[in-house]
Structure 1
Amino acid sequence: MNIVLAHGILGFGHVFGIPLSYFNGVADHLRQQGHEVIEPSVSTIGSVAARGNDLADAILGHFRAGDDVHVIAHSMGGLDTRYALNHYPQLARKVKTLVAIGTPHQGSPVADAIVNSAHPLAPHIPQFLKEWIGGPNDLTTRACMRFDEITPDVNGVRYIDVAGNASMNGDGLLLFKLTKAISELELDGEINDGVVTRKSALREGHEHLLDWPVDHAGEIGWDKNSFSLISSPSSHLARYESIVAIL
């Protein structure tokens, strides 16, 4: 099976000589099972359009004309892929599945708070996160809702969404205070992964897999145990196996 791992904002694809990967160990794990896996690099802080163009070029440049491809995307990578599918008919004919994990189809309250200092969530955003991410205008609620309106699903592509639930994860990298703050801003105590709410991650009309009990970083296999000298069970790899099993 041909699989593309599409990274999110500030992420990276395969970089020669660097042992770390954005999707922590996922590509190597799936390759050991016989799959062809690529990890394209797109602009780390570029617009959805720029990143989508980069992603389309990478996929079309790697696979042959008759190859079927399945994309597993995280966070902004899901928006990049949706853009690319709508603007590259040859790509849409090739891609059979888009699995979007923690993708802000309707925006992220964290992006809203970073862009707008008057946002109720702004005091809960750690300063390092504001400086690290900068101004992700394409990920705000307003921008993503507009993107959602003008970027319909493409016929022939199977869309699958996954949401994270950070409140179930005691080993997360993101501050639980942030997760709790997002929940309190939502009228129904919205489940979220510390960056993206469940409502935003699960787009109407898509298949919905069971929520993953991790935060936004845990969705790609990174938590506080990832940096321990003592190896720990890699439960995220099993989650990716379960995705591939239904493709």
Structure 2
Amino acid sequence: MLVAKSANYSYTSRVAGARCPTLYFKSYYSQDESNSVKQKRDEKLIKDTFKVLKDSYKHPRYPLVLCHGFSGFDKLDIIPRLGLFDQKITDKNSIAKAATKSVLSLDYWRGIEYSLEKIGSKVLVAKVPPFAEIHSRASVLHKFLENKCQDLRVHNAESGCSKDNRVKLNLVAHSMGGLDCRYLIHKFKPSNYRVVSLTTVSTPHHGSEFADFITRNVIRSNLLKENFPSIPELTTSAMKKFNEEVSDEPDVLYFSFGARFVPHAYSLFKPTREIMKKEIIKKAQQNGCEPKIDNDGLVSVESAKWGTYLGTLDQVDHLDLINWTNKLRTIIDKVIYRSENNFNAIALYLGIAENLYDNDL
């Protein structure tokens, strides 16, 4: 069993499989903000570590593979660029070019691939079928990696190969992408690559209570099931079975991050977070557990914990995690709420790269 070195920016722990603690509580905090503040002090909160970029970063020895979540696309501009709202993510060197060109730009790995390459990382960006089942997505991911790594073996002697001449890879996954990766690591026997690490960012390892709600209340027709077959797989009950069948591999290091936020009235994830909260409280009452309601709008902090848990990103929602930051929201936060954004997704992924370097990966 490989043992991960502790990251400099957080405390780490090995996460047990059980969702609920052994101690039972008779009451819980009813208000979101009170719950977030008073909840157990083992959250390993990350408040402003990734607020700005450092002057320099170390890059990992082996290539990084960015694996997207539930849906995947190249770019979708929702609101066109307005000069009033245009501002840089950071002014640190040329990485600042990663700033968006629209008020709200839905671009997977937006600026992240570019920034990782600028510090010297070899980066592969995977694409798998959106909304598909985990095994289908993992199969496509496997074929993608086989083809890419075959090219690396032929054309790039510095790609970092194992003794059997397979390319060593560090997988970095957002949301459902982490489940695709875990399935791939456990089920497939690749010829051209070997996974040495998996870092997941808000992956529903223990399922999503929002998927529970959708499956129970919305998806009742075959039409919806045919178009979104992955949703039933993301329920808490389905993921319990998944975890029984898909175990970790001893020669792979597993890292994870979670996220939580308390939404303002205009937050895109305010409705889904409320659904998550109610589902978590209801389930906790049924199981005699203390409800841990912290979530990013789609995935709870508890569900995101897997392997070496690197911490909970505070006041970050599910889309912030891949740099889908709404500039208009940032302005409203400053003007109305007198608050500033303490999270830069690019800094997070550069930090992930440096953590892999620290672990000789």
Give the TM-score range, shorter chain.
0.7 to 0.9
Tell me the equivalent position of 2:19: none
CA offset digits 1:61-82 (Å, max 9, x no partner): 1123432110100111000001
Tell me the distance in 2 between the aligned counterparts of 1:44 and 1:54: 11
Tell me the equivalent position of 2:92: none
Tell me the distance in 2 between the aligned counterparts of 1:163 and 1:103: 8
CA offset digits 1:203-246 (Å, max 9, x no partner): 3xx100121121111111112228999xx997111111111101
Tell me the distance in 1 between the aligned counterparts of 2:349 and 2:171: 12
Percent identity reads 27
Tell me the equivalent position of 2:300: 197
* Residue type at the aligned position of 1:4: V
Please give the residue correspondences for 1:1-247 in structure 2 after superposition, counting only pairs within 5 Å. Answer: 1-12=62-73, 21-63=107-149, 64=153, 65-90=165-190, 94-117=194-217, 134=228, 136-167=231-262, 174-184=268-278, 185-186=280-281, 187=284, 188-203=291-306, 206-213=307-314, 214-225=316-327, 235-247=344-356
Tell me the distance in 2 between the aligned counterparts of 1:157 and 1:137: 28
Larger Rg: 2
| Matched residue SS, 1:192 | coil
CA offset digits 1:3-28 (Å, max 9, x no partner): 000001111369xxxx9631121101
What is the aligned residue count?
Answer: 227
Higher relative CO (CA 8 A, sep ≥ 6), structure 1 or 2? Answer: 2
Distance change in 2, residues 1:219/1:171 (3 Å): farther
CA offset digits 1:166-200 (Å, max 9, x no partner): 22x66995322432442343342421111011111
Aligned alpha-carbon RMSD (Å):
3.0
* Residue type at the aligned position of 2:294: I
Contact 1:109/1:182, CA 8 A, preserved across alignment = yes
| Matched residue SS, 2:190 | helix
Q: So what's the TM-score if we normalise by structure 2?
A: 0.57
Contact 1:179/1:192, CA 8 A, preserved across alignment = yes
* Residue type at the aligned position of 1:12: F
Structure 2 unmatched ranges of 5 or more: 1-61, 76-104, 154-164, 285-290, 332-340, 357-361
Following superposition, the deviation at residue 154 of structure 1 comes to: 0.8
Tell me the distance in 1 between the aligned counterparts of 2:193 and 2:147: 15
| Matched residue SS, 2:324 | coil
Structure 1 unmatched ranges of 5 or more: 120-129
Following superposition, the deviation at residue 160 of structure 1 comes to: 0.4
